[in-house]
Amino acid sequence: MSRTASPAVTPSLVATERDGRVLVITLQREHKRNAVDRALADALDAALNTLDADPDIFAGVLTGGRTVFCAGSDLTSGGDYVTERGGEYGIIRRRRRKPLIAAVEGVALGGGMEIVLACDMVVAASDASFGLPEVVRGVLPTCGALFRALQVLPPNLARELVMTGQPMNAARAYEAGLVNALAQPGDALAQALQLARCIAANAPLSVQASLGAMNGVLALADAAGWEFTRAALGAIAGSQDAHEGVRAFLEKRVPVWTGR
């Protein structure tokens, strides 16, 4: 008897799970350090649509799993990771009604840190790290970090992160105010859930109205922030160094800068 092979099942790139009134959203591309491509952006966008639309969900937690949060853009995607509702990665320009907490294990680098900056609160494992390494590759942060880092960090620290490209550990991020709470390694999700449950126990309309007001104040500066980001990107677009940085990264070698 001949058998027909079953089609391969593609695992979901983003998992969602209900915990009472809280929606847990988990990035599931760990073999690529949760680097965001078109498919992952679309899946995250859909999960965040569920968070916003389901009247029985009052808060959300976003995690990358137990080993890594997100290493940023998948450089092979060519920038194809923008969704209609959420913008870059499905989250960066999204106007959410409900609070979202980032639960960070491992690294949140580049676009991964920009995803963190797009969330409302952050719980991080004590061995986690945050960084904006774009200048090391001859490019720059384009998904909000050039102005959102200034909103949550002292300006000198924000400049240090952007211009050195070197990461900061979770303890320093906590002391600077980026991280709300530190957890033991492996426990960031559990502690983020505790925070989310505390929020979800409150009157949802009050929480949503308060969040909307506070985020609305911060968003007043967004138009200028995006304009200055576009200007900065224009200053390096098409430069030899920008091409060299990406080539060197993909070829796993030290870049040779020319300042051109």
Q: Which residues carry out catalysis?
A: 114, 134
How many residues appear in the chain?
A: 260
**Residue 13 dihedral angles phi and psi, to the nearest 5°:** -80, -20
**Residue 205 dihedral angles phi and psi, to the nearest 5°:** -65, -35
Q: Which of 158, 147, 162 is nearest to 231 (CA)?
A: 147
Q: Which of 109, 105, 88 is nearest to 37 (CA)?
A: 88
Do residues 198 and 61 touch, judged by C-beta distance below 8 A? no
Q: Which of 111, 104, 109 is nearest to 88 (CA)?
A: 111
Q: Which residues 6+ apart lie within 8 Å of 180 measured at CB?
A: 101, 121, 122, 123, 195
**Residue 219 dihedral angles phi and psi, to the nearest 5°:** -70, -15
DSSP-derived letter for residue 70 is: B
Burial of 4 (0-12, 13-18, 19+ CB in 10 A): exposed
DSSP-derived letter for residue 160 is: H
CB hemisphere CA count around 88 (13 angstroms): 23
Give the residue carrying structure tokens 């639960």. Answer: 103
